[in-house]
Structure 1
Amino acid sequence: MKKLLLVLFLFSAGTVLAQEGVKVSGNTITSKEVPPVWPGCETAPAAKACFKEKLTQHLKANYKFPKDANGNYIRGKAVVSFEINKEGKPVVTKVEGPKKELNEEAKRIILAIPQMTPGQLAGKPTEVSYKVPFNF
């Protein structure tokens, strides 16, 4: 009788502590990752492809070539590393580039990304990192 109660207790404890998005099969544990969802992509069958398309549209719409003090266009490259945080907001973590004006413009474009549904790992919100190169 004691063994039966112990087995019943362990079984019920395992079902109570189970996480959404986590699958256990033998010695393998699998966690489901869900990328951030751009506004308007909630019902899209391929949310990842929709995210990429919307990001490309956002970059094209907000892309402006910076000018120097004399009014001449500044040319160069900048690489922005950012993440979509647990609240779904973009956060710039690093900007790499030789010219300050280009780095600031690239950062401005990324921070103009709208708030979205955050990514998830094992059913819980998580940060998702991205890296975008800019050629001005």
Structure 2
Amino acid sequence: MEVKKNPKSNLENFSKNFMLIGLVLALFITYAAIEQKTYDKTYNELGLANMNQDLEEDIPITERVEPVKPKTPPPPTPEKIEVVEDEKEIEETVIESTETDETEAVEVEEIEEVEEVEEVIEDVSFMIIEDVPVFPGCKGTKAQLKKCFSQKVQKHFSRKFDAELPNELGLSPGKKRVYIGFKIDRNGNIVNVQARAPHPKIKSEVVKVMKQLPKMKPGRQRGKPVGVKYSIPFTLVVE
């Protein structure tokens, strides 16, 4: 047998009513809060406070008292003053005047003249000279002058040297090395010609040919003309 509920005891049927009642209460509370009046609080008058009395103070007047210095008694006076005669003679020093009279002759020491010794610069190698010697007809920069100098010396040797001499001396066929050295002095002249060759006659011929080099413009080191050493090897072909 099933138990049936009474429809009036079901609370879900009254949920809408509860919601309306709650809404009405909320609106009422909100309205009451808006309509409530508030008033500013009032305080009793405290009156005016007089602060000047606390700031005024009596400052005592003080005076500076300086200490009194004790007076020193004067020195006692001597009983008698004796006068003593000065028996010693005082030597007076005479200061002589250092000014000279125009009429007096003044001795002057002889001034020795010192000759300036000219700085002598030793001979410089052709490879490191600042200003190389200039072969007649050469122009250009330092590198160009060096190259031109060597070419002119080789050309001079090839033109002046007797190429048939090595064959006449009966030397063995082949290449023969000849080393030549000389100096261009401060005046541009060719001096101190030296040679090393496979035969004495070839050496004499080489020295004779190199002495025929023309006069050149001398080399300069630190702006002064100097002697310049130059060396060059040659190759002779003996058939």
Q: Residue 34 of structure 1: SS of its match in structure 2?
A: coil
Aligned match of 1:82 = 182
Equivalent residue for 2:135, pick from 9, 34, 38: 38
Name 1:112's counterpart in structure 2.
212
Deviations 1:28-60 (A, max 9, x none): xxxx7111000111x334211221221222122
Of residues 125, 128, 134, the one that matches 2:225 is 125
Given the two structures, how large is their TM-score scaled by the length of structure 2? 0.38
Unaligned stretches of 5+ residues in structure 1: 1-31
Q: Deviations over 1:82-110 (max 9, x none)?
A: 11111111113432234210110111121
The structure 2 residue matched to 1:97, chosen from 185, 197, 201, is: 197
Counterpart residue type for residue 49 of structure 1: K
Aligned residues: 103
> 1:86, 1:39 → 2: CA distance?
16
Select the structure that is richer in helix: 1
Q: Does 2:168 align with 1:72?
A: yes
- Aligned position for 1:62: 160
SS of structure 1 residue aligned to 2:168 = coil
Cα distance in structure 2, aligned partners of 1:72 and 1:96: 19
Distance 1:66 1:51, change over 3 A: same
Match of 2:82 in 1: none
* Aligned CA distance change for structure 1 residues 95 and 127 (closer, same or farther; 3 Å): same
The 8 Å contact of residues 65 and 73 in structure 1, kept in 2 or not, is answered as no
Residue segments in structure 2 that go unaligned for 5+ positions in a row: 1-128
Structure 1 match to 2:113? none
**Residues in 2 aligned to 1:58 and 1:109: alpha-carbon distance in whole angstroms:** 8
Q: 1:131 to 1:74 in 2, by over 3 A?
A: farther
Task: State the structure with bigger RCO (CA 8 A, min sep 6), 1 or 2.
Answer: 1
Equivalent residues of 2:193, 2:211 under 8 A apart: no
Q: Which amino acid aligns with 2:149?
A: F
User: Partner residue of 2:146?
Assistant: 48
Kept after mapping to 1: 8 A contact 2:193/2:207: no
Q: Report the aligned-residue RMSD.
A: 2.6
Secondary structure of 2:136's aligned partner: coil
